[in-house]
Structure 1
Amino acid sequence: MDDLFAPSDVSWTPVSPKLAAVRRVSAAIMFGVLAVAGLLLLGMLLDWLYGVLAVVLVLLAYLWAWVLIGRNQRSWKYAEREDELLVSHGIMFRQLVVVPYGRMQFVDVAAGPLERSFGIATVELHTATPATDAKIPGLHPDEASRLRDRLSALGQAQAWGL
């Protein structure tokens, strides 16, 4: 079954571990806002003990998210073949996207403020069919630039043959 989502005839490249750090910081911000809101709302409406209980529950949820974020980051990988790009990710719900170079319409590189501060970027491939679009988060900016240029060149070269 593993060969279905990760063919062994290719050399897989993992994404940066900094992706987990970015996602953990983002989750900390979200869970922090949720904890403060729970503390204030429940504390003012019911009792401060319920507010503290809400904070403890949010903290436990964040700790669980911390573990899941790390596992998810380690599941992301990509491989370049002669005619296509493979992107695989997921632990519980695994996914393998195979994008033929000739079907690519354009390649995006994006980096939000948190990603830029951690030194990573995301490469996104767009095709005519949204189901075959692929995204590779957590790439070093140099690798994202190299991949963007390579995929654009291969896409243009192979599109001429259609």
Structure 2
Amino acid sequence: MDDHEPQPPSPPPAVLPLLGDHGAPWRPVSPELSTVRRVSATAVLVPLALATAAAAVFLTPWLAVATAVLAIVWSWLMWLIPRQVRAISWVELPEELAIRKGRMWRSMVTIPYGRIQYVDISSGPYKRSKGLADITVNTASPASSGDIPGLPVDVAEELRVRLAAHGEAQWAGL
């Protein structure tokens, strides 16, 4: 057997490829974020659909079109939200934090540790009940700031401490 036979192609990666990731250990956000976003969308759209359905019965049947549109939007969001959440990931690199989002319109923001001014953690009542929090990394320029939604609370708190420490260490070196 010849040792120089061509190897079969490897299967495509399971994660979203991104130019220049160089095998970095990208970390996803919690899948529970999908549940939170789905419940939030349902809490807004279903009452509106019910209201337009009632108005269609009592006022004019033309309002049934609005009910149908709201039902279609709700169905589309129930399909879209999990895909959006799976596309959010982040990685701590030696000199910066990188956050990437999106499947069709991908974006990536890198935040150098030396530019970090402060790091916020926020969590609404429903997110708290699911054990989730959001991290917002603030810099002097809004263009280089970023947020990571839907992290488990303990991960968010540890990340805030690490980012603040990185930021202070970089500032001290200036």
RMSD of aligned residue pairs (Cα, Å) = 1.7
> Normalising by the residue count of structure 2, what TM-score does the alignment of the two structures yield?
0.85
Gaps of 5+ in 2: 1-15
For 1:33 and 1:103, how far apart are their aligned partners in 2? 44
Q: 1:3 aligns with which of 18, 22, 36?
A: 18
1:19 aligns with 2:33: yes
For 1:109 and 1:137, how far apart are their aligned partners in 2? 10
Cα drift, residue 42 of structure 1? 3.1
Once the two structures are superposed, residues 11-67 of structure 1 have per-residue CA deviations (whole angstroms, 9 ceiling, x without a partner) of 1000000000000000001111220221233333213xx455543432222111111
For 2:52 and 2:144, how far apart are their aligned partners in 1? 40
Cα drift, residue 130 of structure 1? 0.2
Cα drift, residue 92 of structure 1? 1.7
Corresponding letter in the other structure for 1:114: Y
Larger helix fraction of residues: 1
For 1:11 and 1:143, how far apart are their aligned partners in 2? 15
Query: Which aligned segments of 4 or more residues in structure 1 are displaced greater than 4 angstroms?
Result: 50-53
> Normalising by the residue count of structure 1, what TM-score does the alignment of the two structures yield?
0.91
Partner residue in 2 for 1:126: 138
Query: Greater Rg, structure 1 or structure 2?
Result: 2
SS in 1 for 2:18: helix
| Overall identity of the aligned pairs, in % | 40
The number of aligned residues is 159
1:111 aligns with 2:126: no
Q: 1:83 aligns with which of 95, 99, 102?
A: 95
Q: 2:163 aligns with which of 144, 148, 151?
A: 151
Q: Which has the higher contact order (CA 8 A, sep 6+)?
A: 1
Gaps of 5+ in 1: none
Structure 2 counterparts to residues 50-61 of structure 1, below 5 A: 50-61=62-73
SS in 2 for 1:3: coil
